């Protein structure tokens, strides 16, 4: 008698799990609600001011760069001879300009005025005189 009950229970258990696995899931299990959708904007390049600057012993060309305040600036720096540097202390910039590649400096000037930039890598006897001005209007 006990054996018959066990067999019945086992059969019920099997039937139940087989039914659960094979049965079609209830529709509401697949209900997906979109509560919030955000559109993430790409970084803004609106008004980007792109300026190419050549560094060579012992000058920057151009040596006066004029930009507008509050708009992003991208300087594309290249060297025509040896490794130079581009230091613009007022905006916390100091980058090496290696020969044979472009060095990119990006910043947004948040104040107006004239600010000195200079070579920050010793490049020869005229190194100290290798400088220019950033004019932010």
Stretch in the footprint of Cu ion (CB under 5 A) among 32-40, 65-73, 100-108, 117-125: 117-125
3-state helix, strand, coil in the chain (%, to 5): 25, 35, 40
CA distance 77 to 75: 6
DSSP state at residue 99: B
Tell me whether residue 109 or residue 118 sits nearer to Cu ion (CB atom): 118
Total binding residues toward Cu ion, as defined by CB under 5 A: 4
The 10 Å CB-count burial string (b at 16+, else e) for 40-73 is: eeeeeeeeeeeeebebbbbbbeeeebebeeeebb
2-10, 24-32, 33-41, 126-134 -> range binding Cu ion (CB under 5 A): 126-134
Least separation, in Å, of the C-beta of 87 and Cu ion? 10
- The reply on whether position 119 binds Cu ion by CB under 5 A is yes
Shortest distance (Å) from residue 127 CB to Cu ion: 4
Pairing of strands 64-67, 131-136: parallel
Residue 53 near residue 61, CB atoms below 8 Å: yes
According to CB under 5 A, which one of 56, 74, 127, 131 is a site residue for Cu ion? 127
Candidates 105, 123, 134, 136; binder of Cu ion (CB under 5 A) is 123
Using CB under 5 A as the criterion, which residues of the chain lie in contact with Cu ion when the complex forms?
Answer: 119, 123, 127, 130
């Amino acid at each position: 008698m006990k054996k018959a009950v066990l067999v019945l229970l086992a059969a019920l258990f099997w039937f139940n799990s087989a039914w659960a696995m094979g049965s079609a899931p209830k529709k509401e299990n697949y209900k997906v609600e979109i509560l919030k959708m955000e559109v993430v904007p790409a970084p803004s390049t609106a008004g980007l001011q792109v300026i190419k600057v050549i560094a060579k012993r012992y000058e920057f060309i151009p040596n006066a760069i004029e930009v507008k305040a509050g708009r992003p600036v991208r300087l594309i720096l290249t060297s025509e001879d040896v490794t130079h540097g581009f230091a613009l202390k007022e905006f916390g910039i100091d980058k090496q300009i290696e020969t044979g590649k472009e060095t990119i400096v990006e910043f947004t000037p948040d104040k107006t005025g004239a600010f000195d930039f200079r070579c920050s890598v010793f490049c020869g006897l005229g190194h100290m005189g290798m400088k220019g001005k950033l004019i932010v209007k």
